[in-house]
Structure formats: C-alpha cells, structure tokens
Structure 1
C-alpha cells in the first residue's frame, strides 16, 4: 500500500518513478549465524534470548531421501528454517539495516521480497538516484553475505518516456526492464491498472468454478457454501483493497464468476438474478464486500493498528467553526491534481472515511470488534435488491 501510494502521488505531481524489485538467491539459506546474533543484540534482545536463538539454530543437519535410500547427514552452518513462524521474522531482523546509507530512494521489504523505488522531476534523475542507492544496497547485501539474483531482479519504469539508461549491478550486468511484476502475490503493471492481475485471477477462478460444477452433486448446500468460503473467497479477498479501483470492465469479470459460485452453492439456474443469489446465500455483492474490507482497513489506521508509514496519512480534521457535522470524526483530505491521484491512499482513505461518516456518524472511536459489527450490519442491509 505504501509503495503504490508513493508512486501514485508522484505521478499525480507529474513526476517520474522507477522501482527495482530485488530477488535474492537462496535468501533464507545464506543467513550467517554470527551476523544474525549481532543483529539480534542490536535490536535489544537480552544475552539470554540471543543465546537461545543461537542454540536453536546450531546443531542442525540435513540429508536427502529418495526411493527408500538416505544420504549421509551433513551439518547446516548457515540459514534460518523456512516454513516456520520464526524464519521470516529472523530474516527481517537480519536485513533490517538494508536501507542504511540509502540517500534518495525508498526501500520496502517483507522478508526476502524487496523493492527499492525512487521518484524525481525527471526520469534521468530518478534513474541516477536509483542507480546510486542500488550500489549502496548491493554493498550492504555483500556485507550480509547475501547473493543478488540478477536474472530475477527486475526494473519497472512508471513513466511515458521509453528511452532511458539501464540500471546496472556492481559487476556491470544490466537489469532487465519489465512492464509487470508480481510482488507479494499482486501483479503490478507500469500503468497501475491491475488489468493483468485481474485477468490472472479470472483464469484461476474459472478453473475452480469448473471443478465446483463438475462435483456439485457430491455436496450438500452447506458443504458447497463452506467449500466456496474456504477455497474461493480468500483468493478473492487477498489484495482487494489494492485493485478495487481498477476499471469497471475488469472488475465485472470477477463479479460474473462470483455470481457463478453463488449459483453453484444454490444449485440454481443461470438466469437467476444476482440479487436473489445474494439474499439466499446471505452474502453481499463484491462491491459491498470490497468496501467493507476497505473501511475496516482505514479504521485500523485510525486506531493506529497499521504501520506508522500508513498512519501518517490519517489526520483528524479540526474545525474552526461550531458545526454539528464537525462533531463527527472526520479526516483531513489532501489536495490532488488528477483523478488518478485520488487512488493514492493519502487521498482515498480520508475521503472514503468522511463519506462513510454520513452513515455512521461516529462521535468517538469504538473498539475494532464493534466497528466490524457495524460493517456486518451494513452488509446485511445491502442484501435488499435495489436494481428496480
């Protein structure tokens, strides 16, 4: 969300933005235990806690088993275990100083998924700043004994200009420029249209929907409902607040497949009206569902339950006049230049919240559980057909 907000804000200001999606070779397996212990101490862990982690990572062995045969066990001197709860956390602490000495670019990462991006008034300046800071990041990676995967590291340019100098590694290898890249499960394109992401989702959903209908006679109504809830809806909800502003045509393709899953649950005819589907399954439309996720996300930011780099965009409005409407909790909406700029979190979050307050009219903050109950009530009210 922070990365997309910064890029959208820059483009709204007629700036150019470039981003580098960094991939590391065997990132978790190359963590140096001695450096990790130093990093754990530097973030404030006690000697006893550091010793516990050191003991937990020491004495590990690995072997290969195939066709009933097992190789000799070898000691594992580096790395943190993958697939564990602590693995990503330890790796994050390990590379937490990666942005040290980065001057002009911004760096964002989740475990080993790293993106470094830079915005400037000209594309040449943005690329030069990114190149300089990329050199700095490479030196830090070298100190951490992490290996840059140049084949999978990609450059994306958010600009109409297409003639520009390449980004190089310290070894002089040119980084490939792409027009789309999957970052944290979201397929980002250089126009921030999310059209490719929605097309990919549509393909996955069609395969699932085909499986559902081929096996519908094997399940009861409640089993079909639970099947869709467990295997379809989580994929639908993931990242929805990022692509919810895509074009209506793109979103309509997902709506159509969603209606298909509701018909599968109800085992009803194709021509059954979608409002009837919502009412009988007691699930809201995707428009309502997206807004529910979006409002809940905003409210978490208001409650300071989100990272501070998002919380800084949430500023409560202070009225200078005695108006009843200003008794409600309203947020300050910054100025933007274009309709595209309104997609940025810094604008869309406070703007959406103020619109919601026309309905909720909250005078004080309530616990997140109560707010979710209010959203559930709003979803229930939306089940009434309003098409006619």
Structure 2
C-alpha cells in the first residue's frame, strides 16, 4: 500500500485536488476497509501503522504538512478516523447478522435476548451475551458482537428492525469523531 501512496506522491503534480481526492477514495480506502472488522483484535502497534498510511493518504489529498494533527486532517477531507470506520463496519456486520443478511454462520452466532421482566430497556433489541471464561473468549465474534451491540443500544434504542439504510444513517449520527 505504501508503494501506491508513493506512486501518488511522485505524480502529485499531475493531479487536481478533486482527482487526488477521488484517487485516494478509490484506491487506498478500499484496501484499508477490506477486512477491517478483523482488525478489531489487532494490536495497537499494527493499527497505528494503518493510521499512518491513512494520514499519509489524507496529506496527499490536502497538501497538509506532516505536523498537522490527525483530527485536523479528518476535518480537511470530511472523513472519519479509521477507528470510527472500523467500528461502523463492525456494527453493520452485527446488524446484517441480526437481519439474516450476513453469512449464515455469523447470523447463527447472534441471538436476540428475551427479557425476563418488563423494563424500559427491555423494549430494545438486545443480544444474549455468552459467558466467556478467558480474555480469548472475549475476542470471539459471539461475545464481542453481543457486547458491542448492547452497548450501542444504550444510545440507539432500536425497538424493531429497521432497513439497513436507515440503520447506517442512525449509526453515522451516533459514531462521530470528537
């Protein structure tokens, strides 16, 4: 991926600002997004390397100096941080699993909880969080999907399934970089 960014930098005089924006969006971002839900369990060292590539791509588009803070970089292009992108994609995979639109083996790992008693929060769609006896168990799809979904529901408060498009819109409102 660094070679792609290197190619872009070597030829930057040939591109307009709009072309640079489009090139990064069509060549670099898909690589960073591909399989990003798997990065959830990656070490911070590896994630920081991906962030550095992302920041370099944004600097290519904006001509911002190396000393520009990453929050300012995101604002210049109107893109979220990679962490927010990963979190968004992760929660979308969970929701697709709930809707049965994900791979069948993933959908089989999410179970909607049935409340024991009526409370305000029992109206919201929540998932059964399986017992995990180790830190490795906490990394499993079944545990982390249920945990992260239930955390999201504290603010999203979905009572019924909505369209995937509506979910994506509500999710983008919830997950904003601060």
Cα distance in structure 2, aligned partners of 1:236 and 1:256: 11
Say which of 125, 131, 141 aligns to 1:329: 125
For the pair 1:347 / 2:143, whether they are aligned, the reply is yes
How far 1:229 moved relative to its partner? 0.7
1:169-248 matches, cutoff 5 A = 205-248=1-44
Say which of 93, 100, 103 aligns to 1:297: 93
Cα distance in structure 2, aligned partners of 1:236 and 1:267: 21
After superposing on structure 2, the runs of 4+ consecutive aligned residues of structure 1 that deviate more than 3 Å are none
Cα distance in structure 1, aligned partners of 2:64 and 2:13: 12
How far 1:333 moved relative to its partner? 0.5
Q: Tell whether the 8 Å contact from 2:123 to 2:159 is kept in structure 1 after alignment.
A: yes
Counterpart for residue 312 of structure 1? 108
Question: The residue matched to 1:257 in structure 2 has which SS?
Answer: helix
More strand by share: 1
How far 1:308 moved relative to its partner? 2.4
Cα distance in structure 1, aligned partners of 2:21 and 2:135: 39
1:193-247 deviation digits (Å, cap 9, x = unpaired): xxxxxxxxxxxx2111211211112112211111001111111111111122111
Question: The residue matched to 1:244 in structure 2 has which SS?
Answer: helix
1:111-143 deviation digits (Å, cap 9, x = unpaired): xxxxxxxxxxxxxxxxxxxxxxxxxxxxxxxxx
TM-score (norm 1): 0.45
Cα distance in structure 2, aligned partners of 1:282 and 1:301: 29
1:312-365 deviation digits (Å, cap 9, x = unpaired): 111111111221111111000001111121111111111111111122111111
Q: Tell whether the 8 Å contact from 2:156 to 2:174 is kept in structure 1 after alignment.
A: no
Cα distance in structure 1, aligned partners of 2:45 and 2:97: 30
How far 1:301 moved relative to its partner? 0.4
For structure 1, the 5+ residue unaligned runs are: 1-204
TM-score (norm 2): 0.95
Cα distance in structure 1, aligned partners of 2:11 and 2:19: 12
The structure with the largest alpha-carbon Rg is 1
Cα distance in structure 2, aligned partners of 1:359 and 1:266: 34
For structure 2, the 5+ residue unaligned runs are: none
Counterpart for residue 287 of structure 1? 83
Say which of 164, 172, 176 aligns to 1:376: 172
Cα distance in structure 2, aligned partners of 1:214 and 1:325: 55
How far 1:378 moved relative to its partner? 3.4
For the pair 1:356 / 2:152, whether they are aligned, the reply is yes
More helix by share: 2
Cα distance in structure 2, aligned partners of 1:260 and 1:217: 16
